Each structure stands twice: as C-alpha cells, then as structure tokens.
Amino acid sequence: MTHETVTRPRSPRHLSRRVRIGAALATAVAVAATVAGCGTSQTDPAPPAPAPAAPAALTGANVDTWLDGLLPAALARTGVAGASVAVVRDGEILTARGYGHADTGDDGTDAVPVDPDRHLFRVGSVSKLVTATAVLQLVQDGTLDLDTDVAEYLDFTVPRRYPQAVTLRHLLTHTAGFEERIAGLIGTAGTDVDLRAALADDPPEQIYEPGTVPAYSNYGNALAGYIVQRASGTRFEEYVYGNVLARAGMTSSSFEQPLPAQLSDRMSNGYERVGAPAAPFEIVGTPPAGALSAPATDMARFMLAQLGEQVGEAPLLDPATRELMQRPALDANSLGTLADGPRMTLGYFEENRNGHRILGHGGDTLYFHSHLQLYPDDRTGIYLSLNSTGESALGSHELRQAVLNGFADRYFPAEPTQPGEGTQPVESTQPAEGTQAAEGTQPAEGTQPAGRTRPAAGVDAATSAEHAQLAAGTYESSRTVHSNFLTLMGLVGRTTVSVTDGDRLLFEPAPLSDTPAVYEEVSPWVWREVGGQRTVAMRVADGQVAAISFDSAFALLPVPAERDSALVLTVLATSTVVLLLVVLSWPVRAVVRRRLGRAPRNRAGRTARVLTRVAVAGALLALAGWTVSVVSIMGLREVPEASLRVVQLMQLIGLLGVLPAAVRLVDDLRRRAGWQRIAGSVAVLLALAGTGWFAVEFRLLAPSISY
C-alpha cells in the first residue's frame, strides 16, 4: 500500500561497486524499497515534452486514439498482461478502455480481454483516498475533528516518543512520525483480517516529531480508517461501502476480502508478468490503507465525485469540505521551509505539471499497480491500473508515467513563454581572453557557466553556492525503521548530494529515479531539476540541512557519519571475509598437522580458542540468517519469531566472542607464538569486533523484533 513509486527498489549498484563482498546482504536489504506494495503516489515528473502549438482536443475520440497508439505496444514491451483506463472531463466519463487480458489463458482456459466496466483491479493505496473521504465526511458532520489528539478516538494506546498530539491531520498527511511496518501487510486467501489487532497488537515506534517530517505510513492511514469505524459504530468496510462507494455510484467496488460472491468472478487475475501463472487474491492486512477492488468505470465515478460533479446518490462532501480535502494541510508552522515544496493535502499528493494543479495518488499491491490524478481546476481526471508488475522492477512504474505524463503534455501542455521571460541573464564566467581554464576544473564558487539563466525570483549565485555546500552529503529515506533489525533498510537506496558548477546540486540518483539529475535553487531552499519539473525543498537546523522533501509524503534525511555506506560495508565485508577464511582454514590446518605429525597445541589458552571458534561460527551464521530473514520479509513472507531469536542468539555469541578472542591474543603475545599466529589472532579479534559493531549499530540485537 504505498503511495506508489516508492515501492520499487532503487538499485544499490553504487554500493556494490565499492564493496562487492557485501552484496548478498545489501541485495537482501535492497528489496526493502518495495515495501509492500500498497501505495505510492509519487509521479516521476520527467522533463516535459516540447509543448505543441496548442493542446490536443480533449475528446473521447482523441483520447481513445492516443491510448490505442500507446498502451498495446507498452504492455507488450514491459510484459504487463492488462490495463484498465478511465478519463473524465466536465462532469462525464470521457472514455473507459481496457487493454490486454484480465486472464491470459495460460492455464489452458480461454484468454479474457480486459473490460473496464466489468473487471475489478486492486487499486492498492489509491484506497487511501476513499479512507480520507470517509474521515472528512465525519469531520464535516462534527463527529471527528482534524486537530484533536487521536487518543480520544481510540480504545488502545499508540506509542509516543514526543509529547505533541497525533491528530487526524497528521495521519492523513503522513506526518504522524511512525516508522515503517511490514508484517501482515499482504497475505493470501485464508489470512484473517482483524483491523484492530493489526493496529493495536504490535504498533510501530514513533520516530519523528508529529507534523515535521513527511514519512509515508500505511499504519497511519489504517489508523484513520479504524477511527472511522470507531466513530461511526460501523465496520470500516461497511461504512465506506454505504457512505462513499454506493453514494458515488460505485456499486461494483468493495473493500471486502475475499470479495462478495457477486463480484468475485469479475476480479482480474494478477500476474508477475506475462507468461507467469495467475497469483492468488491478495489479502491486505490493514484494509483502509489498500484493500479496495474496483473497475475503471467505478473509479471514474469516484473522480467525478471528487471533482464536485453530481454522480450516484448524493455528493460525497460539501463544497467547503471538498476544498479543505484538496488544499495543502500543513504549513510552515510545523514543516518549516519544507512547506515550500510539494505537500500533502488531506489525502492527495501534489503532482503539479506544466503549470497545472494536479492532485494524485498511486498504489501498488504485489501484482496490481495503479494511479489516479485529478485536475481540479480543469474538471478533469485520469485513472490507470495494471494487473502485472512486468519484466523489470520499474516496468509498471515507467509505463504509468508514460501514460500520466503523456496525458498532461498532450492535453495540458505548459504555456509557451517568450524568450527570456521569467529569467535573468547570468554574467559569463568564460576565461579572460588569452587564458585557458584548467581541464576538468569547476567554476569558482558563486559563479555559473556561461549562458546559464536564473529565474527572476531565484537566489543569487553566491547564496546558492553557500546553500549547496550545506546540502552536500549522503541521505536516506524518511520511510524507514529505527527500532529493530530492519534498520538495515537504510543501507540501500541512499542518495548522494554533491555540489556541481559551483552553485548547483547533483543528486545521485535523483529522487524518484535511478539516474542522476542536477538541481538549481529557484527560491530560498527550493531547488528545481535542470531541464525538468521535479522540485525539492530543504529545511536547515543547526547550520546544516536537516531534511529534503522530494515528494509530498517522502523526505531525505542526512545519514550519520558512523552509518556511511562505504564505512559500514567495508567493515562488514572485511570482517566477513576474515571469518570465512578462518573457518576454511580449520580443516586445512587439521590435515596439515596430521600429515606433518605436529603435536597438539599447548593446552594453555585452549578454552579461549574453542570459544573464539564458536563465536566465529555464530557471527557467520547470524549474517546468513539475517540475509535470509530480510529477503523473506521483503518478499512479504512471514519469518517466525523463534527463527529471529535464534539468529539474534548467534549474533550475540559472535559479539561476546570478542572477549575470548582478546584473551587468545594476549596468550599468543605472552607465549611469543610467532608473528603469523599473532597476526591471525588480531585479525579474528578485529573481525568479531567489526561484526559486533555492525550488530549494535543496526540494532540487530534490539529486544523488539517486530517488523
């Protein structure tokens, strides 16, 4: 259930180049970026296509022609089985189209083409918009208040690290401060769904001060849905059907899991890719965050209702409440200068493009990938859902962006600007006549390459250069875990920010991308991608950049020096290699001793040697255990608590082995055992210390193993 895009992993290739031996663990942790697939809404605004002389006519016939020319080839290229699309405009469904297959027929049955009116797709975290609408309905009638502490609405206690109240406003904007939670996110048929138990029995820790750090949270949205259930006195699934879905005419849609009998045979299959077997129906453990199943035509009705058009039985929200839902919900009072970047509304992400206001939300389950966008000022909306991930991890994401960005650029292009409009020339920094710049050097600080222009409302070059220096560093996502072994997730998907051209920033990789991009400051602490439309905003504290918001519900936070990837993986890889070599040497040394007829070692220090060997084995078994466990968890497979405790025990044995290893080294020194043996004892001691430091730093021994 993620806001979709950030559920697809960014490649950790920049780490593996540095430390190849750490690749196994790094790869295991990398899968964390896919965390469950219900929802990211992030669009990845690629540079706009060259603006046409005029926008294409937004008619059903024109959109059909465009989609017919785009989607069939895109499905074939990416290995996605089927797609369902709907477009609304000026109070009507302009078109609803199906492409590919809802059932590929690979199991021997007849293939079934996608029917956008008949076939239900899982919408993932787009479901959160329905949950937010339900909350706003109860705010509208006075039952709930956006700024009341949610403790007043709950029958269990939510963990608090900070004294500030957690409110519905925080829950709907992903700023309640919760760490990530994976367990129970998606299961299969037979999985019990108990919303209260999922929220109360094992809640995530609060790791950020409420209202200050955008950190996408399925738990937070599901908590809002549970409050709807508590306040209405009606089971969540029943409340949203009667008060949101049915009122909007969405009678073929449901949050029920499994689906009601009258809808179950209309459910599209989900696939990893074309040619793969059909996947079982997915059970979302926290239904408000991502359990909706709906056909494209019902999602079209939902868009119309959200645009204020009359559909279904009655309006979902009155005009004032709908406007409240669709405007940014937090300001600089809590977000500081992050409020100058993209922000959450009460449910929607700001996904503006080409100067048009766009509100959207994406969603992913393991197999379905969806996105909805509204153009509130243009009375327009587009919805797209895919029933496969495709051949590559980013395949479905790139296909969605091709459709969404293509739609914006075709029908809502940027207004043409006159040459120089909105910009001011920057003084050239070409070398003086008769001189030549040294090859490979950057312009002096505060200068810009010749021909560059800076927005009229921007920041002068010298100030930008100062800001760029403060921003340089390594960052990790705010959507992470701090309290247990899944702190490991922070090791991958990191972004390095460096200064280029004196006053620009190079992001490697760029936010929401797997390629680098250059950003320039366009207003104080707001940076825009050069040649593109993505923006980031920064907040400074104590003389350094404390956070970079790159999407409405996601931010980058600086990585502490002790968790620098190069340092961590170098220590881990070196320690692992040493310990492996030690283990491999044991049988070799035994054989050599037997063949040469050497006497057994002196009994002095024997206990220390035996305990050291036990510790070496424990440390290696722990690393293998963590790798297997993390890979399983990121694949949404449950890892028994007993298994994790055994891995922790092995890790503890490895850590405690530092003591006998030190005794062994002292004994070798005392007996003057020779430089080779002493060097070996030093290496083993340092290797055990290295794996022990890694375990402590990344909370592998934390009492909590909740994930």
pTM of the predicted model as reported, rounded to 2 decimal places: 0.85
Tell me which CATH code domain 13-411 carries: 3.40.710.10
pLDDT value of residue 277: 95
Taking residues 236-262, report their average pLDDT.
Answer: 97
Residue 448 has what pLDDT? 40
The rounded percent of the chain whose pLDDT value lies above 90 is 67
Residue 444, pLDDT score? 35
* 299: nearest Cα among 169, 144, 164, 120: 120
Tell me what the mean pLDDT of segment 380-403 comes to: 94
Instruction: Look at residue 208 and give its three-state secondary structure.
Output: coil
* C-alpha to C-alpha distance for 467 and 139, rounded to whole angstroms: 41
pLDDT of 513 reads: 83
Burial class (CB in 10 A: 0-12, 13-18, 19+), 438: exposed
Neighbours of 701 (CB within 10 A): 17
Q: Which of 125, 210, 221, 193 is nearest to 159 (CA)?
A: 210
Q: Which range, of 34-43, 282-291, 377-386, 492-501, averages the lowest pLDDT? A: 34-43
Place of tokens 């009460």: 346
| Residue 466 parent element (H or E) | helix 461-471
End-to-end distance of the chain based on CA atoms, in angstroms?
16
pLDDT beyond 50 at 168:
yes
**pLDDT per position as a tens digit, 186-212:** 887 778 899 999 999 989 999 999 999
Confidence band of 432 (pLDDT split at 50, 70, 90): very low
pLDDT by residue (tens digit) across 307-359? 999 887 789 999 999 999 999 999 999 999 999 999 999 999 999 999 999 99
Cα-based distances in Å from 651 to 15, 485, 615, 681, 693: 24, 12, 9, 20, 11
Nearest to 225, CA basis, from 285, 296, 157, 282: 285
Of the pLDDT bands very low, low, confident and very high (cuts 50, 70, 90), residue 634 is confident
> CA-to-CA distance for 309 and 322, rounded, in angstroms?
11
Tokens standing for 562? 């002790």
Q: Which residue has the higher pLDDT, 119 or 562?
A: 119
- Cβ distance 337 to 355 under 8 Å? no
Please report which confidence band the pLDDT of residue 597 belongs to, taking 50, 70 and 90 as the band edges.
Answer: low
**What backbone phi and psi angles, to 5 degrees, belong to 303?**
-60, -45
- Give the model's pLDDT for residue 360: 98
pLDDT value at residue 53 = 56
Q: Using the structure block, give the residue that is written with the tokens 């999602």.
A: 299
Q: What is the CA radius of gyration of the chain?
A: 28
The three state secondary structure string of 248-291 is: CCCCCCECCCCCCHHHHCCECCEECCCCCCCECCCEECCHHHCC
Q: From start to end of 559-669, where are the E strands? A: none
For 92-139, the pLDDT digits (tens) are 999 999 999 999 998 888 999 999 999 999 999 999 999 999 999 999
Secondary structure class of 529 (helix, strand, coil): strand
Q: What is the pLDDT of residues 533-545, one digit of tens each?
A: 999 999 999 989 9
The tokens describing 264, both together, are 């179950």
For the stretch 493-526, pLDDT in tens is 899 999 999 999 999 999 888 899 999 999 999 9
Q: What is the pLDDT of residues 260-278, one digit of tens each?
A: 999 999 999 999 999 999 9
Place of tokens 């959507």: 479
What does the pLDDT read at residue 37? 42
* DSSP character at residue 411: H
Helix, strand, coil percentages for the chain (3-state, nearest 5): 40, 15, 45
Query: Which has the minimum average pLDDT: 220-229, 339-348, 477-486?
Result: 477-486
DSSP strand pairing (453-455 vs 112-113)? unpaired
Concatenated DSSP letters of 72-128: HHHHHHHT--EEEEEEEETTEEEEEEEEEEEE--TTSSPPEE--TTT-BEE-GGGHH
pLDDT of residue 348: 98
The residue with tokens 């950020």 is: 208
> What number is the average pLDDT over the span 177-182?
91
Assign 368 to helix, strand or coil: coil
Angle between helices 127-140 and 296-306 (to 10 degrees): 40
Q: Give the pLDDT band (50/70/90) at residue 441.
A: very low
Cis check for the bond before 9: say yes or no (omega within 30 of 0): no
Tell me the mean pLDDT in the region 145-171: 96
**Are residues 235 and 510 in contact, defined by beta-carbon separation less than 8 angstroms?**
no
Give the residue extent of every domain in the chain.
13-411, 457-560, 563-697
Q: Which two tokens stand for residue 254?
A: 């449901």
pLDDT beyond 80 at 3: no
Question: pLDDT tens digit string along 143-154?
Answer: 999 999 999 999
How far apart, in whole angstroms, are the C-alpha atoms of residue 301 and residue 685? 66
Mean per-residue pLDDT over the chain, rounded: 86
pLDDT of residue 34: 36
Which pLDDT does position 511 carry in this prediction? 86
Per the CB < 8 A criterion, the answer to whether 373 and 68 are in contact is no
